[in-house]
Amino acid sequence: MRVRLKRMLPRVLLVNPPVYDFAAYDFWLKPYGILSIGGYLRGRTEIELFDCLDRTHPFNASKKDLQSDGWGRGKFYCEKIASPGPLVDIPRLFRRFGLPRRMFVDFLKKSSFDFVLVQTMMTYWYLGVEEIIEDVRALQPDAGIILGGNYVSLCGEHAGRLDADLIVKDRDLEPLWRFLSIEPDLSAPGFWKGYKNPESGILRLSDGCPFKCSYCCVPAIYGKFQARPLERSLEELRLLSKLGVQNIAFYDDALLFEADKVLMPFLEDVLREGIKVNFHTPNGLNARFITQEIAQIMVRSGFKSFYIGFESLSEKWQKETGSKVCSDELARAVENLTAAGARPSSITAYQLLGHPDIKTQQLERTMRFVTNLGVRGMLADFSPIPDTPDGERCRQWVDMDEPLMHNKTAFPIILLGFDEVNRLKDLQRKLNRELAKK
């Protein structure tokens, strides 16, 4: 039992760990989970944020190669390191992405905390979580360490081997409030003031998804589709706008579902209040729901990038994995967006690379179909996720009980081979370059 110092208000540290991976890019990547929890605890605790992936940190300011593009995206500072044992045969350079470790160590030497809340994201990023726990235990052994997020929800047994005091799975936060002995304010916006100069922000209007795609873990973690309170979402947007944030990405997994009840009322208020920001959709839109009306209000309210989940041209594959979208629906969505004023170069269709049931010939046809629509294609590397039908099938190729083997760079190479993966990625780049010249 660790003894903690008594204070007027408990001191809570929110941590977004570094990333250990072959590749990482700031594609509007923010630790929305712990930022939300920090908001719920505002006024009830003393809160600080240490985001190892904060590219606006002064350490990164003078590094030209880390500067943001026009939409708030950019490279992370990184250091080359040896590949961990399970991934040693993957012919890619392994890196640690994020602020240097010594900076977090120095930070811990200057301030003490009662609780440290650590965000977890990809299952195969747990090495960064281990690093944070190790440093906190070494320098602040009395602090209570709490883990939450996708890694602990999907790999609870594995996460239980780490030296944390509490693991919070899925969406049930009651164990967290009991552990902290704090009654949260669930109507409060996220702790965005933890950033000194935020360039980009995140919003969620809903949780969960009505679809059950066989390769996706969202239904298992977030459950059925459920809209969030509209006023809280608007308050969070107002806060981000007041802080000077120009680019805001939606993290919804089904942003357009029941749009007449969720997205459209939100955007109508955005237009009524005259809020000027750039909206982005990195999690992917469902083409089926991009009607003329929705396309028009999205463009009018400030959407600047439209990422659409397409995965595969194959109707057979679509039916077997959840029937989320078909080729005609993608074509209609592109037509509606461009008619509403969206630039074709702002529209991107995701396609899956490395799914066991998508043959390379199918993928090439899908890539060319997307290009013929006049929009960019982007290959999304398949990651085998535990407890999903498609992920469990991948046990014949990788050890699914080792989260490092869920790595989205590694799995397509294991399945298709290094040369074939490179060939397909080169083809996608070539198609996009040819499209840009037209």
Q: What are the residues facing 81 on neighbouring strands?
A: 94
What's the mean pLDDT when you consider all of the chain?
94
Q: Give the C-alpha distances (Å, rounded to integers) separating 221 from 42, 244, 298, 311, 371.
A: 26, 32, 28, 22, 34
**Whole-angstrom Cα distance, residue 31 to residue 13?**
13
Does domain 11-180 fall into CATH 3.40.50.280? Answer: yes
Among 180-184, 240-244, 316-320, the minimum mean pLDDT is found in: 316-320
Closest CA to 259 of 223, 224, 285, 232: 285
* Contact between residue 41 and residue 184 where contact means Cβ atoms under 8 Å apart: yes
CATH 3.40.50.280 boundaries in the chain: 11-180
Closest C-alpha to 357, from 253, 214, 154: 214
Question: What's the pLDDT tens digit per position in 401-424?
Answer: 999 999 999 999 999 999 999 999
Pairwise CA distance, residues 413 & 408, whole Å: 9
Q: Is the pLDDT of residue 1 over 50?
A: no
DSSP at 406:
G
| pTM strictly above 0.85 | yes
CA angle in degrees (0–180, nearest 5) for 30-31-32 = 95
Give the pLDDT band of residue 296 (cuts 50, 70, 90): very high
pLDDT at 3 over 50: no
Q: Is the pLDDT of residue 5 over 70?
A: no
What would the two tokens of residue 108 be? Answer: 């811990």
**Residue ranges matching CATH 3.20.20.70 in the chain:** 202-437
* Mean per-residue pLDDT, 297-307: 98
CATH number among 3.20.20.70, 3.40.50.970, 1.10.1740.10, 3.40.630.40, domain 202-437: 3.20.20.70
Q: Are 123 and 398 in contact (CB under 8 A)?
A: no
Burial tier of 270 (Cβ tally within 10 Å: 0-12, 13-18, 19+): buried
pLDDT in tens, 93-109: 999 999 999 999 999 99
Percent of the chain with pLDDT over 90: 89
Evaluate if residue 2 carries a pLDDT over 70. no
pLDDT tens digits, 341-378 = 999 999 999 999 999 999 999 999 999 999 999 999 99
Query: Three-state secondary structure along 22-54?
Result: CCCCECCCCCHHHHHHHHHCECCEEEEEEECCC
